[in-house]
Amino acid sequence: MIPFRLPVGVFFLGGSAAALLLAPSAFAQAAPVSTDAPVKSLGMVTVTSGQPTSLPTQIPTTIEGVTREQIEQTINATDSEDALKYLPSLLVRKRYIGDYNHAILSSRASGTGNSARSAVYADGILLSNYLGNGIANGTNYAPRWGLVTPEEIERVDVLYGPFSAAYPGNSVGAVVDYVTRMPTQFEAHAKISAFNQAFKLYGTDSHFGGSQASASLGSKSGDWSWFINANRTQSAGQPLTFTTKALSNVVSAVNPVTGAVAGLNTRNQPWLLIGGATQYRTEQEHVKLKVAYDFSPTVRASYTLGYWDNSAQNRSDSYLRNAAGAPVYSGNVSINGRAYTLGPTDFGVSNEALTHLMHGLSIKSNTRGVWDWEVAASLYDYQKDQIRAATTAQPGALGGGAGTLQDQGGTGWNNLALKGIWRPDGLQGAHIVDVGYQQDSYKLRILKSSVLGNWMNDGAGTMLSDVGGRTQLRSVYAQDAWSFAPKWKTVLGARIENWHTSSGFTWFGAGNPANTAYAARSENAVSPKAALSYQWAADTTLKASTGRAVRFPTVGELYGATATVNSQYINDPNLKPEKSWTTELTAEKDLGNAVLRVTFFTENTRDALYAQQTFDPMAGSNISRVQNVARIQTQGLEVAYNGNDVFKKGLSLGGSVTYADSRIKENSGFVLTPGDTVGKYQPRVPVWRATALVSYRFDQAWTGTFAARYSGKQFSSLDNSDVNGFAYQGTSKYFVTDVRFHYKVNKQWTAAFGIDNLNNYQYWNFHPYPQRTFMAELKVDL
């Protein structure tokens, strides 16, 4: 991201950007630098800010970041994940504004189907959902982005790779930490925004949009600080799935209908698309309360309460019309003289009611002396999590009828962390040692029942399936940042983990032979880490980092055998942990008013955990089976540039290019025939991707931004047989441009207008992404 000059006290952390901010030219006309600013030397970023962060005090590898000021001026941010939009090698699979169940983060060597290969935190509280991986079990495991709103964010820090011993093996892709606001004086903010897109695809041609309203209030009085934010989002998304039919060979003239759209599937086989489905209308309410108390100038206690409520309707539309022009949803029909049968759930409808709570409590010292410490605990609770779906056909289903109820109430996780920092020779000494103990516990239960009366509101009937279990990860770690010689620094560390799973079960009704209670399992792992930094010249730093990461199976992968009306997930209680060795070599050069970084990275993963989805045309459903892929190897190069006042004052340039060759090297499993995945690309990891952002501050009031995002060809299947990415269920290349204009009316009022996907590119990641989307917002700060 492009760094901006920051006011006193604003903390910014961001790899190459950090070097730029600390270069003299970056502060030529800025206010004096706060003593809490991050210190960068020898390729290391030292976190010394009093502002809490989950990152360790010494960062051994690539860091990127974005600040509140950058987000407000340059990014059309409607959801917290939008802050990552232009960072190198990162992509969040956000399908529409307010996407709460598929917005998975991908990184250099991890695709958008692997949510358990990255770690997302907010003020050190875990938002990543390690109950499962990706989209499976009739549910989702995307990070809980909705527990942070863009208006709360003070900054976002991203640590690339598993090079810190302070994080579990899920950090193999990236660690994202949102640091949210905590006022030092009274402040109040309010913002309203609206958005709209014209979406045209297959038989759908309509507008989809919504609005947001956000308000926050905070202050500091004596030893007490507090901040509260409330946000409401109303959003209607475009169709995300489509009802399809394989071409029929049966001749028929019974009940002729029109409106079907002929197309090709991901394997370039002809099919018919007969309706748009999974059109969400979501209403989300979010409230965040933060309270802090300073026991002394160096010891602070903090409590966070997060509340998120979502009411969503999922609807489908049929493209088919009978002779009278009425939509057709079920029964036997004739399309182009061929016979087809429309099942009662081909155009499904469902409602979701979700209420999630997050608690976080920490006590932390910040003496900057010989010892500092922290005790932190958090809890994430699915207080209510229900999906109600009709099993009868439209239009009758819109008024009631039989259905199913999926209930995940009581599901959740809790985390405990004890951390210490030892500086035997003081803050500027040769050694800074981080040590800690962590315990992460997860509980999953998915109970699915029939509803015989009215699927919209009647109680549960006969149990259809009941699956669940528990996992727990206990870890100790230590790492030492050692300045062992002039111009040289190393970070050496290790993480020791004990993983335990218990209470696993799959139950499908009395007497069902598939009913299983699984035995407990326990495994241990050791993950060493090492980094080395050398100051080659006054303006050039060389760095090398390597680390092992062990990603243990989730509860959902082990025990979550479930089925919906159009999909089935097959679990495996004997899955092996995923083990990765990741290495990167970096050269970073300060160009005065810009920073250039070049990073070579490689990753070798054994027993990679993958849930591969295939479509069974005979059953008309998607089948997902989780498995271990023996070995995946990734090698790549990442180039990033950030500059301020480039060519002329007020012009900022930033961008990145990433090349990644990620291939399956060994795999005993297969899709259709043995060996059909070996040598193929890892799913959803493109060979090329790039970002670019140009921002110009015309004067003190106006800032304009033009940005672009690119991703090359990629695949969704392990055998790379989905050669047509520009189709429903495909994963396509894309080139998307965005614009934003930010206007500061006066000291209190600001307005912004933006367009995402300005060039209206139609692209896919199984689901279609939004088309050209207009946004406008108005904000007041008191």
In this prediction, residues 292-316 reach a mean pLDDT of: 96
pLDDT band at 306 (very low <50, low <70, confident <90, very high): very high
Sequence-separated (6 or more) residues with CB below 8 Å from residue 512: none
Exposed, middle or buried, 629 (CB in 10 Å: 0-12/13-18/19+)? buried
In this prediction, residue 43 carries a pLDDT of: 55
3-class SS of residue 730: coil
List pLDDT tens digits, range 446-478. 999 999 999 999 999 999 999 999 999 999 999
In this prediction, residue 56 carries a pLDDT of: 64
List pLDDT tens digits, range 432-451. 999 999 999 999 999 999 99
In this prediction, residue 55 carries a pLDDT of: 65
List pLDDT tens digits, range 30-82. 223 333 434 445 455 554 444 555 666 576 688 898 999 999 999 999 999 99
pLDDT band at 510 (very low <50, low <70, confident <90, very high): confident
pLDDT band at 7 (very low <50, low <70, confident <90, very high): very low
In this prediction, residue 456 carries a pLDDT of: 96
* Residue scoring higher pLDDT (570 or 305): 305
- The pairs formed by 365-368 with CB atoms below 8 angstroms and a separation of 24 or more are 365/298, 365/299, 366/50, 366/298, 366/299, 366/300, 367/298, 368/48, 368/423, 368/427
In this prediction, residue 429 carries a pLDDT of: 86
In this prediction, residue 112 carries a pLDDT of: 92
Quick one: three-class SS letters along 391-427? CCCCCHHHHCCCEEEEECCCCEEEEEEEEEEECCCCC
| Per-chain mean pLDDT for the chain | 89
First to last CA, the chain: 28
Sequence-separated (6 or more) residues with CB below 8 Å from residue 370: 422, 423, 424, 426
Residue 145 has pLDDT above 90, yes or no: yes
In this prediction, residue 32 carries a pLDDT of: 30
Helices (H), 237-358: none
Q: Residues in the chain, how many?
A: 782
Give this prediction's pTM: 0.91
> In the 8-state DSSP scheme, what is residue 686?
-
Residue 427 has pLDDT above 90, yes or no: no
In angstroms, rounded to a whole number, what is the distance separating the alpha carbons of residues 665 and 545? Answer: 24
**Under 8 Å between Cβ of 166 and 415:** no
In angstroms, rounded to a whole number, what is the distance separating the alpha carbons of residues 740 and 753? Answer: 6
Exposed, middle or buried, 254 (CB in 10 Å: 0-12/13-18/19+)? exposed
In angstroms, rounded to a whole number, what is the distance separating the alpha carbons of residues 441 and 439? Answer: 7
Assigned token pair, 528: 């060493």
3-class SS of residue 152: helix
List pLDDT tens digits, range 707-742. 999 999 999 999 999 999 999 999 999 999 999 999
In this prediction, residue 17 carries a pLDDT of: 34
Residue 325: CB atoms within 10 A of its CB come to 8
Pairing status of strand 119-122 against strand 174-180 = parallel
pLDDT band at 4 (very low <50, low <70, confident <90, very high): very low
Cα R_g (the chain), whole angstroms: 26
List pLDDT tens digits, range 635-651. 999 999 999 999 899 99
Nearest alpha-carbon partner for 664 in 677, 651, 652: 677
pLDDT band at 241 (very low <50, low <70, confident <90, very high): very high
Exposed, middle or buried, 160 (CB in 10 Å: 0-12/13-18/19+)? buried
